Amino acid sequence: MLAKVNFDQTDVRFYTSIKFHVIFAQIKQFYYLINILSKYIPERNITREILSSQRCLSIYELFDSTIINYHPLRRAKYYHQACGKYNSLPCFYDLDTFMCLCTNDRHANCFNFDFHMENDCRGSNYCLNKGECFQDLPQCPTISVCSCADCYYGSRCQFSTKTYGISLDAILGYHIRPNTTLFRQPKPIKTSMILVIIICFLGIISSFLSIITFRRKNPRAFGSGIYLFVSSIICLFIMFTLLFKFLLLFLIQSEAVIQSWILKSNCILMDFLLRILLNVVDWLNACVSIERVIVVNIGPQFNKIKSTKVIRGKIIL
């Protein structure tokens, strides 16, 4: 039986009519002993919390290299020692064959266990980018899900975050709960919203003060003043773009906005616009540094009028 656990989900429910006595949970490569029933009782609700103390340890964590290098049948003779040595050990396993439970009298009760299942949906793996495919039943399955490798996501692992860089979509997208108000969002979203508002508020004030300063004639007597004036205007656009980007991401991920043209515009335009504006500001700041070096080297012979004309062309470029 399988289930996906979402970012904002803390519990999983299973319903089964199959008679059982032992429940294991596998999370990634780790196994946990959930419950042992000496007598099966139908129509019974079992609630368990998965704790680190319930993890089944590997024999490589319990025995030294001498015992591990023995033949599996000879190695099995020492399994009782693990239960006797570790009083809180619930279970352990040998990847070659056995899963072992530690009984109340601290003996090992071992049975065959398949640790090498091929997670490829019986040869019909539809998951992309080396994703593992899981099915709920070996015969006539009704559900199949993909377990994606790092940096991939989506129902078929078809999307990648490798090319996003520092995009807000990759960092915060999966933390935003759909159809939920801002006050009920998880802490990363609330914290990010507060940080974005503070950054934009301070950035807008700083940009306005810079624009007021450099729109006067004297600060723009040299080319660096013109560069800084244009840079202040672009920084103002960056602040508004960042705020709009965050709000748009929140509305899209919370499913308040579902229009396809808005989704495509956000995917194609917003990240590119932020990145290109930031790059333009970096280039303008580099131009300021270059001009200051030239002024220091040339000194009084520096032609401000000619420099101003050249600078206007550089800004347009």
Mean pLDDT, residues 167-189: 79
Say which amino acid occupies 219: P
Cα separation, 49 vs 284, in Å, equals 57
For residue 284, pLDDT beyond 60? yes
Cα separation, 124 vs 133, in Å, equals 8
Please identify which residue in the block is written with the tokens 């998951």. 127
Percent of the chain with pLDDT over 70: 96
Say which amino acid occupies 6: N
Nearest alpha-carbon partner for 247 in 140, 317, 135, 172: 172
What pLDDT, on a 0 to 100 scale, did the predictor assign at position 56? 95
Mean pLDDT, residues 264-280: 86
Per-residue pLDDT tens digits for 33-65 = 998 888 888 888 888 888 999 999 999 999 999
Average pLDDT across the chain, whole number: 85
Which are the contacts of 126, defined by CB distance < 8 A and separation ≥ 6? 133, 144, 146, 156
What pLDDT, on a 0 to 100 scale, did the predictor assign at position 6? 67
For residue 164, pLDDT beyond 60? no
Cα separation, 79 vs 109, in Å, equals 9
Mean pLDDT, residues 281-301: 84
For residue 133, pLDDT beyond 60? yes
Cα separation, 155 vs 196, in Å, equals 30
Give me the phi and psi of 14, to 5 degrees please: -125, 145
> What pLDDT band is residue 15 in, cutting at 50, 70 and 90?
confident
Taking a C-beta distance cutoff of 8 angstroms, is the pair 58, 95 a contact?
yes
For residue 137, pLDDT beyond 80? no
Q: 83-97, 240-254, 295-309 — which is least confidently predicted? A: 295-309
What pLDDT, on a 0 to 100 scale, did the predictor assign at position 18? 83
Give me the phi and psi of 160, to 5 degrees please: -130, 145
Cα separation, 148 vs 130, in Å, equals 7
Nearest alpha-carbon partner for 254 in 190, 182, 193: 182
Q: Which of 96-100, 157-161, 293-297 has the highest mean pLDDT?
A: 96-100
> What pLDDT band is residue 204 in, cutting at 50, 70 and 90?
very high
For residue 315, pLDDT beyond 60? yes
Which structure tokens are listed for 84? 């006797």
For residue 213, pLDDT beyond 60? yes
Cα separation, 141 vs 126, in Å, equals 14
> What pLDDT band is residue 7 in, cutting at 50, 70 and 90?
low
Say which amino acid occupies 203: G
Taking a C-beta distance cutoff of 8 angstroms, is the pair 177, 250 a contact?
no
Q: 29-33, 205-209, 288-292, 309-313 — which is least confidently predicted? A: 309-313
For residue 197, pLDDT beyond 90? yes
- The torsion defined by the Cα of 185, 186, 191 and 193, in degrees rounded to 10, comes to -30
Nearest alpha-carbon partner for 79 in 311, 70, 209: 70
Taking a C-beta distance cutoff of 8 angstroms, is the pair 64, 92 a contact?
no
